[in-house]
Amino acid sequence: MDTQLARLHRGAPPQEDSFADNLLEGLAKAPKEIACKYFYDEAGSRLFDAICDLPEYYQTRTETALLARHAGEIAALIEPGAEIVEFGAGSLRKARILLDALDNPRAYTPLDISGDYLAGVVQSLAAEYPTLTLRPMVGDFTGPLDIPTLPDNPRRAGFFPGSTIGNFRPDTALCLLRRMRSGLNGGGLLIGVDLVKDPSRLHAAYNDAAGVTASFNKNLLARANRELGADFDLGAFAHYAPYNAGAQRIEMYLVSLRRQRVSLRGQLFEFAQGEPVHTEDSHKYTIESFREMAARAGFNPRAVWTDEERLFSVHWLESR
Ligand SMILES: C[S@@+](CC[C@H](N)C(=O)[O-])C[C@H]1O[C@@H](n2cnc3c(N)ncnc32)[C@H](O)[C@@H]1O
């Protein structure tokens, strides 16, 4: 089967250019910042997979168990013959649970910004599901969602697991949900959302003992060195991920451990000792606050599944 990646936005600049532009702009700001979507080159995607297996990272285990436990109900809501469009597909591990439960899925369209990694995992999926139509697409789902319609125009259903929605500020998350709704042409969205909980549990999940999340965070700097010829000293930055209880979000930073200067594409950037670079937010919701946002985005929140400890939630949102 042909599993060549299509581009989500024809004519979009190559990833390295937009990463360079984002870094040059973000490091010139006060406070400094780098957009979290640039975590995900091939090395970053592999580090994220390692995070998913950590004992502290309850999110993947809990969401996977919810999907497996409720697969039959989910399949009934999605209906037979649907095209599944997955936003930020990653390893495709969760998609397998869905694909196994669905009645005769028409096609599977995984979208991800991490093109080399997506190409590899799609090859393995194609070998396991030889009769399934696969339409992998590389690109940024925060841009226009130009997903070509199949000739027989099957009903679409979106799949957005991993609480990736939490990486957006609530106002941006609302706009993203609205645009996903219109990209789904009237189809519903199955979405995983991490829940507000004991701050120490959240803190542990983003500050694992093995230091994998720290390596994932620092991959931004390693990637800048690899791809853009920057000279970040990875040992001179620390991973810092506190929980901001007022804003109900984990905030992730790289903190400069000393006064230093970094060169990037002919420009020099000064870092004071203790200066933070913001790299990610991970917003947490209550079931009610997320359903409210989904309704404001034009969805009709229907089923919601959660675990006994109410750590994580999976929602089925119908388009209105
Ligand atoms: C938190 S991980 C979740 C991965 C997987 N869906 C899961 O549930 O384990 C976020 C995924 O979304 C992708 N991603 C992040 N920002 C993106 C963007 N703006 N456009 C497309 N993909 C993006 C990343 O490459 C990564 O695979």
Check residue 153 and give left, alpha or beta (phi > 0: left; psi -120 to 50: alpha).
left
Summarised one tens digit per residue, pLDDT across range 224-262 is 999 999 999 999 999 999 999 999 999 999 999 999 999
Residue 224: predicted pLDDT:
98
Pocket test for ligand 1, best of 113, 190, 206, 252 (most atoms within 8 A of CB): 113
pLDDT at 12 over 80: no
Summarised one tens digit per residue, pLDDT across range 184-216 is 999 999 999 999 999 999 999 999 999 999 999
Residues 6+ apart with CB under 8 A from 63: 94, 161, 162, 163, 192, 312, 314
Among the residue ranges 23-27, 144-148, 172-176, 207-211, the one predicted with the least confidence is 144-148
pLDDT at 119 over 70: yes
Q: What tokens were used for 272?
A: 């004071």
Q: Judging by beta carbons within 10 Å of its beta carbon (0-12, 13-18, 19+), is residue 160 exposed, middle or buried?
A: buried
Which one-letter amino acid corresponds to residue 193? V
Q: What is the DSSP letter of 195?
A: B
Q: What tokens were used for 242?
A: 């506190």
Residue 16: predicted pLDDT:
66
pLDDT at 28 over 70: yes
For residue 87, report the distance from its CA to the centre of ligand 1, in Å: 7
For residue 4, what pLDDT band results from cuts at 50, 70 and 90?
confident
CA torsion, points 19, 24, 30, 32, in degrees to nearest 10? 40
Residue nearest atom 14 of ligand 1, based on CA coordinates: 88
β partners of residue 255: 238, 276
Mean pLDDT, the chain, rounded, equals 96
Pocket test for ligand 1, best of 164, 167, 176 (most atoms within 8 A of CB): 164
* Percent above pLDDT 90 for the chain: 93
Residues 6+ apart with CB under 8 A from 220: 34, 38, 39, 44, 254, 279
Distance between CA atoms of 143 and 179, rounded to whole angstroms?
A: 9
The answer to whether the beta carbons of residues 217 and 279 sit under 8 Å apart is: yes
**Among candidates 231, 211, 190, which has minimal Cα distance to 102?**
190
β partners of residue 238: 255
Summarised one tens digit per residue, pLDDT across range 33-67 is 999 999 999 999 999 999 999 999 999 999 999 99
Residue nearest atom 4 of ligand 1, based on CA coordinates: 90
For residue 2, what pLDDT band results from cuts at 50, 70 and 90?
low
Residue 75: predicted pLDDT:
97
Ligand 1 neighbourhood includes 115 CB (under 6 angstroms): no
Q: Is the peptide bond preceding residue 31 cis, with omega within 30 degrees of 0? A: yes
Residue 9: predicted pLDDT:
80
Report, in angstroms and rounded to the nearest whole number, the Rg of the chain calculated over CA atoms. Answer: 20
pLDDT at 296 over 60: yes
3-state secondary structure of 235: helix
Distance between CA atoms of 43 and 46, rounded to whole angstroms?
A: 5
pLDDT at 1 over 60: no
Q: What tokens were used for 106?
A: 């028409």
Check residue 233 and give left, alpha or beta (phi > 0: left; psi -120 to 50: alpha).
beta
**Among candidates 171, 161, 236, which has minimal Cα distance to 192?**
161
DSSP string, 11-62: TPPPHHHHHHHHHHHHHTSSSEE--GGGG-SHHHHHHHHHHHTSTT-HHHHH
Give the β-pairing of 249-256 and 237-240.
antiparallel
Residue 180: predicted pLDDT:
97
3-state secondary structure of 290: helix
For residue 76, what pLDDT band results from cuts at 50, 70 and 90?
very high
The answer to whether the beta carbons of residues 36 and 166 sit under 8 Å apart is: no
Distance between CA atoms of 52 and 181, rounded to whole angstroms?
A: 27
Ligand 1 neighbourhood includes 206 CB (under 6 angstroms): no
Summarised one tens digit per residue, pLDDT across range 120-153 is 999 999 999 999 999 999 999 999 898 999 999 9
The answer to whether the beta carbons of residues 288 and 39 sit under 8 Å apart is: no
Q: List the Cα angle 264/261/242 in 5-degree steps.
A: 95
